Amino acid sequence: MLILKANRLVVVDYDLCVGCQCCMFACTRRFAEAGLSRSTIHIKSAGGFERGFVVTVCKACSEPPCMKVCPTDALVFRKPGGVTLIPSKCIMCKNCVDACTVGAVFWDEEVNKPAICVYCGYCVGYCAYGVIKLQPVGEGEDRR
């Protein structure tokens, strides 16, 4: 399964982003649903459309802050970076949402559990502008 491959999503160039959010819709569709509740990529304007967009994705941290604050070990480390959610263990405390430095732990309002990136790269295929790509964890950082 793709999830076991240690890839992660990176932002190639924020300035290419047109804010279409097709990536966000792709993310939820990956889980066989239409809409946004499962999405773990988030696009918002940088304070008004005129300033361009901010693309938020999970960084697949080697020491994930979200995992550290989880009281029930519902978030498990995934080698060499990132976490996997065990939904049955989650008690919906939202500690992980607050703890993520880049704001990439989202909340799935439909099931009332965190939405965690599964590092599959499905969204990449729906970005017509080459803003995001999938690459192995550790290979370069966002510099922009």
Partner 1 sequence: MIEGDPISRVLYIDLTRRRSWVEEQPELFKERLGGTGAAIELLHKECPPSVNPLGPENPIIFAVGQLNGVFPIASKMVAMFKSPLTGNLGESHGGGRSAVALRMAGYGALVIKGRSETPIYLSVHMDEVSFKDASVLWGMGSSATGRVIREREPKPGIRTIMRIGQAGERMVSYACVVTETYRHFGRLGLGAVFGSKKLKALVISGRRSFKFKDPRQYRVLYDEVFNALVTSPLMKKYHELGTSMNILPLNEMRALPTQNLAKSDFECADGISGETFAERYLGRRVACAHCPVSCIHIAAFRIPYETEPYFYKTKMISYDYELIYSLGAMLGVGTCEGILKLIEEVETLGLDAMSTGVSLAWATEMQQRGLITERETAGLKLQWGDYGVYLNAVKNIVGQPTEFYTALARGVDYASSKYGGEEFALAFGGNEMPGYHTGPAAYVGYLVGARHSHLDGAGYSVDEKFAKAGKHPTPEGVAEALIAEEKWRQILSSLVVCYFGRGVYTPEIVARAYNLLGYQLSCEDLVKIGAEILRSKYNFKCREGFDFGKLRIPTRIFKSPTPLGPVTEEFIRESIKHFKTILESAPEG
Binding partner of residue 28 among partner 1, ligand SF4, none, CB cut-off 5 to 8 Å per kind: partner 1
Helix, strand, or coil (residue 110): coil
Residue identified by tokens 């590092």 is 119
Stretch that binds partner 1, among 27-35, 66-74, 87-95, 130-138 (CB under 8 A): 27-35
Q: Does 29 bind partner 1 (CB under 8 A)?
A: yes
What tokens were used for 131?
């803003």
Q: Does 142 bind partner 1 (CB under 8 A)?
A: no
CA–CA gap between residue 29 and residue 99 (Å, rounded): 26
List C-alpha distances in Å: 85 to 15, 119, 128. 32, 12, 30
Chain-centroid distance, C-alpha 27:
9
102, 27 Cβ separation under 8 angstroms: no
Q: Does 129 bind partner 1 (CB under 8 A)?
A: yes
Q: Does 112 bind partner 1 (CB under 8 A)?
A: no
Q: Does 61 bind ligand SF4 (CB under 6 A)?
A: no
- Contact positions vs ligand SF4 (CB under 6 A): 17-23, 43, 55, 69-70, 72, 74-75, 85, 90-96, 114, 126-127, 129, 131-132
